[in-house]
Amino acid sequence: MALKEPPALPRVSIVGAAEGRPHVNRELSRLAYDARVLARAEDESLPLLERLRFLCIFSRNLDDFFQVRVAGLKEQVEAAAAPSVRGDPPPAEQLQAIRRRVEELVERQRSLYADRLRPALADAGIQIVDGGQLGRADRAFLDSYFEDRVFPVLTPLAVDPGHPFPYISHLSLNLAVIVRDPLRRRKRFARVKVPPLLPGLIPLPDGSRFIPLEQVIAMHVQSLFPGMEIVSAHHFRVTRDNDLDLEDSEAEDLLATVQTELLRQRRGAFAVRLEATPDMAPDVEELLCRELELQPQDVYRVEGPLELGALEVLLDLDRPELKAAPWAGVTPPELRLLGAKRADIFAVLRERDVLVHHPYDSFATSVEAFIEEAARDPAVLAIKQTLYRTSGPASPIALALAGAAEAGKQVVALVELKARGDEQANIDWAQLLEKSGVHVVYGLVGLKTHAKTALVVRQEEGGIRRYVHVATGNYNPLTAQSYEDVGLLSSDPELGADVSDLFNFLTGYSRQRKFRSLMVAPTNLRRSLVKLIRKEGSRQHGRIVFKVNNLVDPEIIDALYQAADAGAEIDLIVRSICCLRPTQRIRVRSIVGRFLEHSRIFRFGSDRRTAFYIGSADLMERNLDRRVEALVPVRDEELRRRLDEIIDAELADDQLAWTMQPDESWRPPPGGPGPSSQDQLMEIALAGARGARG
């Protein structure tokens, strides 16, 4: 089914500093991606709960956009920042354009939920009800539920001369209650926070109807203020800056710095957005804006639930007919069982490199198996691994690392404390690993370690041999089920030496600038990519294909423009932000489907001279200049054919692929008779598994 084309984006272009070629504003490009996600929720050909899942993703994405991107622009306005060298519009103008676009998207979200998804859920026997729709028996049930489970954890906070205005925590859902003393007739403001640890949707006794927790609290708000008159009660939600401000270039103890900043942020992060119900009284809005130091343009009136993410609980319902068919990754053919015996992963890698493609290939039987086998194998002397986002100390990889350390192996885990949103979780589980004897290193001062690498050092008959894994995705078994990523497992001596040098750079004192195979940021990655782009532009019949999450960096964009001007044909598969405009020789598409397209694949050339690289880096200034990233060449001919298979499937996709137009708009997938690229890749994985069994 073809999707409807969304409204055109506001036109805010910037000019590249080097060549004067048009660059697209990154903030509006990000919102264009969110619009594509929302369009997925609007697609009536998808199962109902799959559409609801995309609605929740859109809501979370918008929260993230405000707490990071909008917060950054507001800081620039406050600081009267100097004009951007890239020619961006002033931050205040960007905020105005963002406001217009967000209002359009929020109205689409409201209409989708109220007019289509909520009625469709009701037709499927899943009703989200309001308090006014309930009968006596339901009210009695909720009275008891509130008294037993909700009332004890509520804390109404009054505002008066003896009680200052309370701190409103980040992304919290609240009630602004106006009460009046019946004797003194004086009105007062009070805030009631909806407890985030309680279920956001409460199931009624029949199991098919649900009511939002905030409505239950509003229905019983009188019990929180006995003897007072309730004048009004309005829901509101506050978004705050959530980007850690780490001046760690001089930090002596990075762990202590991050912990201190997390504590400061919980109480000191400034507000950037107020969401409120349409019926909130003007004087209440004025009070909230004054206390939160917000302007009227920071207020968004929202009809319907303010916290759509609470609907995620419905995704766990046992209603398989309303969901996409489940997918379990297959074991790569090279790593399948040999008779009744598990494949010896080290023996396989001594013979050949292995490419894994998640979630089509199982993470558990490939990457996890690699680390677990290394932890068990008495011939393994050391394991070193970078960890950016994980599933916590109970994850198989974390348990394997802890077990290896307890067995006496040298185990090093480089944990990135500055992984946004996972800072505290990474601190907690890294400290647990340390108790098991793992040498935990907290990244580099001044740089965020984003590279996805693992190194296993093994004693063999011929001497020491190194085995490596270099990938595009995190070592997280949960996201590996829904994030599309690729990784290379290898025992190539040159690559092993490079990864060893990279870990020495990360854990010790090193000015390593040159690597044999790897391209590493911030040392040689930018320079190498620009050189490869220019080299392809100078060739006859030059060909470049990039698959990335984001394309923002001005130098890379200008190099691509120049290569196209010289005659190279360029295809860009960019999931989210793209600041390059298509030209006659540059085509841009974005795949938005059931799996999050997360891999970074770089192809230069065609036919026999094709060069492939995969790795962790997106094409953004932060990745190329302020992070430790790694790209690895894929040299094996069969593995390059597999990468071509991925690229070709996505370039031919007319089911999930949006195409960017020269005016910055995005044309939705036209729809066609064939399968989507993701369906096609699932079929290829299954065919490979069947072939291996045969």
Positive or negative, the Cα torsion across 505, 511, 513, 516?
negative
Rounded CA-CA distance 112/127 in Å is 16
Choose among 96, 98, 66, 421: nearest CA to 270.
66
Instruction: Tell me the pairing of strands 173-180 and 229-240.
Output: antiparallel
Tell me, what DSSP letter sits at residue 62? H
Contact of 558 with 529, CB cutoff 8 Å: no
Cis before 522? omega within 30: yes
Q: Is 163 an active-site residue?
A: no
User: Which residues make Cβ contacts (< 8 Å) with residue 79, sequence separation at least 6?
Assistant: none
| Type and span of the H or E element at 273 | strand 271-276
Hey, is 580 helix, strand or coil?
Answer: strand
CA distances from 602 to 79, 215, 361, 572 (A): 39, 50, 20, 10
Contact of 616 with 386, CB cutoff 8 Å: no
Rounded CA-CA distance 36/588 in Å is 14
Instruction: Tell me the pairing of strands 448-449 and 439-441.
Output: unpaired
| Type and span of the H or E element at 399 | helix 396-406
Contact of 406 with 432, CB cutoff 8 Å: no
Q: From the centroid of its chain, how far is CA 586?
A: 27
Residue 170 forms beta bridges with which residues? Answer: none
Residue 667 forms beta bridges with which residues? Answer: 659
Query: Tokens in use for 522?
Result: 């911030």
Query: Tokens in use for 96?
Result: 């105005």
Query: Tokens in use for 183?
Result: 């004797």
Query: Tokens in use for 243?
Result: 């980007």
Choose among 444, 448, 445, 374: nearest CA to 411.
374
Tell me, what DSSP letter sits at residue 474? -
The residue annotated as part of the active site, out of 220, 450, 469, 598, is: 450
User: Which residues make Cβ contacts (< 8 Å) with residue 386, sequence separation at least 6?
Assistant: 414, 416, 449, 451, 452, 453, 454, 506
Q: What are residue 313's phi and psi, to 5 degrees?
A: -60, -30
Residue in the structure block whose two tokens are 């406001």: 99
Active site residues: 450
